[in-house]
Each structure stands twice: as structure tokens, then as C-alpha cells.
Amino acid sequence: QVQLVESGGGLVQPGGSLRLSCEASGDTAGIYETDWYRRPPGQSRDLVARITDGGTTEYAASAKGRFTIFKDNTKNIVYLQMNNLEPEDTAVYLCHASQRRSATRIDNLWGQGTQVTVST
């Protein structure tokens, strides 16, 4: 069983920064990709950034140049550094991981989310 726990959300003014953390615990073997998604108020969930086991990263257009995803393999933590935040970044940010359990089974793992509010 794997648990994903997010932290680091909060209230920040426009132009400010936050660093979100997603810590994986339990049987983490086989996790090959970790993502940050976000769900703005009243909207659907969208991918923000992704990092693979090999360190390859991918960003949504809205995140490029402002957000950075990186990881600490020794601690099983994936971070999302968010700079120059805008009110449009207000959302619940969720961590997701893809875990290969067998040749035919991939588990989708989700954290509970952390609220980010960008406002004056």
C-alpha cells in the first residue's frame, strides 16, 4: 500500500512563490511517474507537471517558465516549485503517481490534495 501526502499549500499574494511537496510512503517500488494536477474551483482536474523515474519532465503551457518539478529520490518526495503565482493558479493541487505492479497492472495513486490560494 502506498500513501501520497501533499503539503506546502497556502495563501500567497500574486507574484509570490510556494513549494509543494508530495511524499510517498509504503511500498513505493515500481513508481515510474509522478505528476501534479490541479483542480480550480468549479473546474475539472488538469495536469500541471510530470516527472518520470528517469527525471524527464513535462509541463502544462500555463506552468512553463514559472513552475519546476523535481524530486529527492532518497526521501521519496516530489516537489513543485511555483514562482510568480497568479490568481488563476488558485486550485486544489493533487499529487498522482503511476505504479507498475506487474506486467499487466498499473495502479493510479492519488493524494488528498493541498489548497493553493493566490489573492491579495
Beta bridge partner(s), residue 38: 46, 93
Tens place of pLDDT for every residue, the chain, 120 residues? 899 999 999 999 999 999 999 999 999 999 999 999 999 999 999 999 999 999 999 999 999 999 999 999 888 999 999 999 999 999 999 999 999 999 999 999 999 999 999 999
Q: How far apart are CA 114 and CA 78, in angstroms?
A: 14
86 neighbors 118 (Cβ within 8 angstroms): yes
How many other β-carbons are positioned within 10 Å of the β-carbon of residue 34?
Answer: 25
